[in-house]
A and B are shown apart, each in its own frame.
Chain A
Amino acid sequence: MEEIKLIKGNEAVAEGAIRSGCDGYFGYPITPQSEVLETLMELRPWESTGMVVVQAESEVSSINMVYGGAACGKRVMTSSSSPGVSLMAEGLSYLAGAELPCLVVNVQRGGPGLGTIQPSQADYFQAVKGTAHGDFKMIVLAPNSVQEMYDHVFDGFDLAFKYRIPVMMLSDGIIGQMMEKVVMTRQRPRWTKEEVSQISDSWATLGKHAGREKNVITSLELDSQIMEKRNEHLQAKYRKIEAAEVRFEESQMEDAEYVVVAFGSSARIASEAVSMARAAGMKVGLLRPITLWPFPTKRIEELAGRVKGFLVPELNAGQMVEDVRLAVNGKVPVWHYGRMGGMIYSPEDIFNELKNNAR
């Protein structure tokens, strides 16, 4: 059944959750993402699909509810915005350590501290590198449209269960608050009890039965030799994901002399800037990483061998640009262009940056 709606990105997450077979959502209000919880409470999915929705007393509690639900082999998720995601840091480390699948949506706002409620992309480092203690990774998806905020709920759950790993959807106040057309083609029911059992009985807490030993969800191991092995197992999994799950999108790259690398809302603004540059006769292409981890390092490495430079516009002080620089490895110049504190650049601003740097 195809449904088309004109809705906000945050509402698309709620609609996506219900239609992707999500079993439980646990959240706490924070601007600019509160519409996710509001929409779910309005739609009352517990009466239709049986999906559980709980308003928790804090983001700390939300993420630990996610931990409890994921332990039971269920598709569970939460959403928040930057300060709230900071509160979830501990829980995310536990989820990664215990290898639990889940989806966490961050509709970013500007920081640091309480910062601003306006859009920002300043949580790239947090999502990709420094979420919390310990060596761990999350798969990070960066939607650039309301449609993708819908679709990434599905993709997020699929990846989370494929690798038993927390997946973060790193959106922002622009995509979360804007309305666009969403085509809700993808729909699927929740897993039945039998399906959950088939998929997850080998590890999840579905109740100890005669057919197996007890399952224990834990990240704890006091024997360092075993703990190192657990870490090696996690790292091997991460290498597998890096080899198989890199997603990116390119446009006008064939004859490009300069490349703009941008993610999420910035990629939308940058794509208009690239059109302006093309109209002005400049040979500019756009690379949009869809997965921020794993990052399209190889593709950027290849491009660095044949283009003259990279411009990385981000709504932050320069975060993803570090990964671009690592990939380019000094072969050609890499420029960063950013706005902070909730300020947003226009396509004209990025076009001007291109004109000033690409010569």
Chain B
Amino acid sequence: MSFQVEITPENKVYGKTPLLTDNVMHYCPGCSHGTIHKLVAEVIEEMGLQDKTIGVSPVGCSVFAYNYIHIDWIQAAHGRACAVATAAKRLTPEKMVFTYQGDGDLSAIGTAESIHACNRGENIVVIYVNNAIYGMTGGQMAPTTLLGMKTATSPAGREAAIHGYPYKIAEIVSMLDGVCYVTRQSVQSPAAARKAKKALRQAFENAMAGKGLSFVEMVSSCNSGWKQSPVDANKWMEENMFPFYKLGDIKVATEPKEA
């Protein structure tokens, strides 16, 4: 049976942004990264920033982000993306520079680089994908792993007495004067993805306007790491992650930062 559709403006309901490459993504089915990549690519396209954007990819599942979006990329050492982005932006201030980092990269090994880039008020965007686990290395505990959550390095569930508490770095960086915008979003539904895209657009506009650092957290699921089906993982995220990592804007600076 052959099946052909003629594409006309009338019957076209969706178009893939040309900024996304045709490479097959290495992410697990159900992973949030693919959706977030798509949103980032769409925002860059819609703002006409392809030739002006430099992405900084981390170490972690999204290390290969550079395979999926048609922009120039710098792959950073584990945790150092914000330092790399600092120099890229300072040396080429006309560029749109963003980092794309996971919870291990940004809020464990890269805490110092992240907080200090925030505090200096670098005019960059930090996209922080928090799925409360180390996906790439096989499901170990992250700083953001919830209490009681089972991982490869907290097999009996995270216990505060042994592992300490999960922490909210978005709230921490929201206290810093160099940061103009902190928001926590997710992409588990079309409605959520639309909101997340708006937040990304806001962040990119802030960076181009020189307002300081914008920090966009994406609370995400990792069904492989959590050992759940994609549907169950999204449900578990809504029931367990969202009460702790509350969605919404955390900081929207109305005044421009002082020079």
Q: Which A residues are closer than 8 A to B by beta carbons?
A: 23-24, 26, 52, 54, 56-58, 60-62, 64-69, 71-72, 74, 76, 90-91, 94, 98, 204-210, 214-220
Contact = CB atoms under 8 A, between A and B. Distances in A.
Given A69-B91, A218-B66, A54 B71 contact: no
Nearest to A95: B77
B56 A214 contact: no
B206 to A, nearest CB: 20
B84 A67 contact: yes
A65 B75 CA distance: 13
A62 B90 CA distance: 13
B95 interface: yes
A68 B72 contact: no
Given A60-B112, A72-B88, A214-B66, 14 more contacts: A24-B91, A60-B83, A61-B116, A67-B80, A68-B74, A71-B74, A72-B54, A72-B87, A74-B92, A76-B87, A90-B77, A206-B92, A207-B54, A208-B51
A64 B75 CA distance: 11
B70 interface: yes
Contact of B83 (A56, A72, A204): A56
A64 B72 CA distance: 18
Contacts of A90: 77
Contacts of B56: 68
25 contacts: A24-B90, A26-B87, A54-B86, A54-B90, A58-B112, A61-B112, A64-B80, A64-B83, A67-B77, A68-B56, A68-B83, A68-B84, A68-B85, A68-B86, A72-B91, A72-B92, A91-B80, A94-B77, A205-B88, A206-B92, A207-B51, A208-B70, A214-B66, A215-B73, A216-B74
Contact of B113 (A57, A72, A217): A57
Contacts, number: 123
Nearest to B65: A216
B258 to A, nearest CB: 19
B76 interface: yes
Interface in B156-174: none
B51 A60 contact: no
B140 interface: no
Contact of B87 (A24, A60, A206): A24
Contacts of A68: 56, 74, 76, 83-88, 91
A205 B51 contact: no
A69 B77 contact: no
A74 B72 contact: no
A222 B205 CA distance: 35
